[in-house]
Amino acid sequence: MSTSLDVRQLLKRMEQLSKAAGNRVGKKAITEGAKLMAKAIKRAIPSRQKSARKAIGHSFKKPRSGKFRNMIFAKAGAGAGMKKEKRQKMAAKAKEKGRGGRKGVGIGVSNVHWLLAGTAERSTGSKRIGAHRRGAKNSRKLTGGKVRRTGRMKQSGYVQQAQSAAGGVVETTIKAWLYKGIQKELAK
């Protein structure tokens, strides 16, 4: 059997399924695509950054209420699909292990997003006062510590590399899983 169906044909066949069967098929296909993308991101991160690799995962969500009710979402990236307890355990293990006398905390599960998305200009000796939402007016309050410029981190580009390397494979995998799932459900 050939799986070279286009998206319109797949959607037409999915309409023949019941809502529950369509959700089952969609969930499996999207999850498999997210899994592949998470693996591609891990491959793009250099081997010397093992703790950053461990912080990459995938998750699946289907909101039950609100604006996005009954829509399927999958995410692959930093901290995705990782329970709070596991994240805390990994952070504690990294802290216990130490950095061999070097300053800083290194890239781990708690801050892998710094590596992937980059940061703005940062400094020590003050903390932000105010809301943590977009457009809110915030000010900084001195903490009494030494004021020191720590700089900024540039975006690494690992996610973009993974997307360009595995994007087509992920798309064909999702289509293949959709095709398999639809055939299986229609055969019932």
pLDDT score recorded for residue 2: 47
Amino acid identity for residue 90 in this structure: M
pLDDT in tens, 94-147: 888 877 777 777 788 888 888 898 988 888 888 888 887 888 888 888 888 888
Half-sphere exposure in the Cβ direction for 22 (13 Å, CA): 13
Residues paired with residue 56 on neighbouring β-strands, in sequence order = 78
Q: What is the mean pLDDT of residues 168-181?
A: 91
pLDDT score recorded for residue 101: 78
pLDDT in tens, 3-32: 556 778 877 877 888 888 888 888 999 999
Q: How far is residue 181's CA from residue 86's CA, in Å, rounded to a whole number?
A: 32
Q: What is the mean pLDDT of residues 39-63?
A: 90
pLDDT score recorded for residue 1: 41
pLDDT score recorded for residue 177: 92
Amino acid identity for residue 166 in this structure: A
What token pair was written down for 57? Answer: 């995962």
More confident residue, 148 or 10: 148
Residues paired with residue 61 on neighbouring β-strands, in sequence order = 73
Q: How far is residue 130's CA from residue 111's CA, in Å, rounded to a whole number?
A: 22
> Highest mean pLDDT range out of 40-44, 60-64, 150-154?
40-44
Half-sphere exposure in the Cβ direction for 107 (13 Å, CA): 24
Average pLDDT over the chain, rounded to an integer = 86
Least trusted range by pLDDT, from 35-49, 95-109, 112-126, 166-180: 95-109
With a cut of 70, say whether residue 36 has pLDDT above it.
yes
How do the domains of the chain map onto residue ranges? 7-118+153-187, 119-152
